[in-house]
């Protein structure tokens, strides 16, 4: 990959109707983000003055050495974790200004999260796992089932809908987790090392699927990864270093 630029990403103009290139509306912005952990009495600052603006329909990779803060950043962008300072703005809304119910609804309806480990529920079938966010949204049994069938179809697994996770391969389990992430047709998918647990061939399949979900369904995607092939398939590659994001390609 090319050398990264000497300046970090510029301050985010999240209120403007278009991004700097005039390409589209920012869907997601991080403004002056800071995250400090208390590591047994010693404070460690992982993110510092971090700026990010992601335009609707983009697909972005976040790369960087282990321990640099990629997962921390994705958790904060997805409102799973609070920053020490700064804001995360989604479609003009400051996420951490929302109350717990509104925040839970945001996560349920607008956001899909894919992790390195699938976190599927062992006692439920693929279909039931995928339908879970729709059930949480109280969409009704038949609508939840219908959405789950469609999501499983999008990832090419409708033929294994009635299997439990233990009856699926690791790659298939990850596909089910991706189907669960998109079942509510979210605007944004955050994927943290989605191929980290997979062999090269399966990682390639998951990479292709993520690209297809972006290009065909228009889902905006931010992917943290060590996988160079996956990073290269994203339109923009950002490197997390010294607490900030730097344009890599």
Ligand X SMILES: Nc1ncnc2c1ncn2[C@@H]1O[C@H](COP(=O)(O)OP(=O)(O)OP(=O)(O)O)[C@@H](O)[C@H]1O
Give residues in contact with ligand X (CB under 6 A). Answer: 37, 39, 46, 64, 66-72
Q: Which of residues 11-70 bind Mg ion (CB under 5 A)?
A: 70
Contact of residue 154 among Mg ion, ligand X, none (CB under 5-8 Å per partner type): none
Beta bridge partners of 45: 36
Do the beta carbons of residue 90 and residue 107 sit within 8 Å?
no
Task: Compute the least distance from the CB of residue 34 to ligand X, in Å.
Answer: 13
69/112 with CB nearer ligand X: 69
Task: Compute the least distance from the CB of residue 192 to Mg ion, in Å.
Answer: 6
Task: Compute the least distance from the CB of residue 2 to ligand X, in Å.
Answer: 21
Contact of residue 68 among Mg ion, ligand X, none (CB under 5-8 Å per partner type): ligand X
Task: Compute the least distance from the CB of residue 96 to ligand X, in Å.
Answer: 17
Per-residue x/- mask for Mg ion, residues 70 to 99, rule CB under 5 A?
Answer: xx----------------------------
Task: Compute the least distance from the CB of residue 64 to ligand X, in Å.
Answer: 6
52/184 with CB nearer Mg ion: 52
∠ Cα 155 156 162 (to 5°): 100
Beta strand 26-39 pairing with 85-90: antiparallel
Task: Compute the least distance from the CB of residue 133 to Mg ion, in Å.
Answer: 23
Within 15-140, residue ranges assigned H as helices are: 70-77, 100-110, 126-136
69/186 with CB nearer ligand X: 69
What burial class does residue 19 get, using C-beta atoms within 10 Å of its C-beta: 0-12 exposed, 13-18 middle, 19+ buried?
Answer: buried
26/194 with CB nearer Mg ion: 194
Gyration radius of the chain over CA positions: 18
CA distances from 91 to 27, 30, 56, 70 (A): 5, 12, 9, 22
Residue 207 engages Mg ion in binding (rule: CB under 5 A): no
Question: What number of chain residues touch Mg ion (CB under 5 A)?
Answer: 2
- Other CB atoms within a 10 A radius of the CB of residue 64 amount to 20
Task: Return the DSSP state at 93.
Answer: E
Contact of residue 216 among ligand X, Mg ion, none (CB under 5-8 Å per partner type): none
- The two three-digit tokens of residue 26, written as one number: 């920012």
Task: Give the residue carrying structure tokens 């090269």.
Answer: 200
Do the beta carbons of residue 178 and residue 197 sit within 8 Å?
no
The residues that touch Mg ion, with contacts defined as CB under 5 A, are: 70-71
């Amino acid at each position: 990959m090319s050398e990264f630029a000497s300046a970090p990403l510029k301050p985010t103009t999240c209120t403007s109707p278009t991004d700097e290139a005039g390409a589209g509306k920012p869907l997601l912005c991080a403004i002056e983000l800071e995250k400090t952990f208390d590591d047994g009495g010693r404070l460690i600052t992982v993110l510092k003055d971090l700026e990010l603006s992601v335009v609707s329909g983009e697909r972005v990779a976040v790369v960087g050495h282990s321990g640099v803060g990629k997962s921390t950043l994705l958790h904060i962008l997805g409102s799973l974790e609070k920053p020490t300072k700064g804001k995360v703005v989604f479609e003009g809304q400051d996420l951490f200004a929302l109350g717990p119910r509104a925040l839970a609804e945001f996560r349920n309806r607008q956001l899909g999260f894919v992790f390195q480990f699938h976190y599927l529920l062992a006692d439920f079938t693929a279909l039931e796992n995928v339908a879970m966010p729709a059930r949480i949204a109280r969409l009704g049994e038949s609508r939840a089932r219908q959405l789950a069938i469609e999501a499983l179809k999008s990832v090419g697994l409708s033929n294994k809908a009635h299997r439990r996770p233990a009856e699926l391969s690791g790659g298939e389990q990850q596909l089910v987790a991706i189907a669960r992430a998109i079942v509510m047709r979210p605007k944004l998918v955050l994927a943290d090392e989605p191929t980290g647990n997979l062999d090269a061939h399966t990682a390639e399949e998951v990479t292709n699927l993520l690209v297809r979900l972006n290009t065909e369904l228009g889902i905006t995607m931010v992917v943290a990864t060590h996988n160079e092939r996956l990073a290269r398939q994203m339109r923009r590659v950002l490197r997390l270093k010294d607490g900030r994001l730097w344009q890599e390609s």
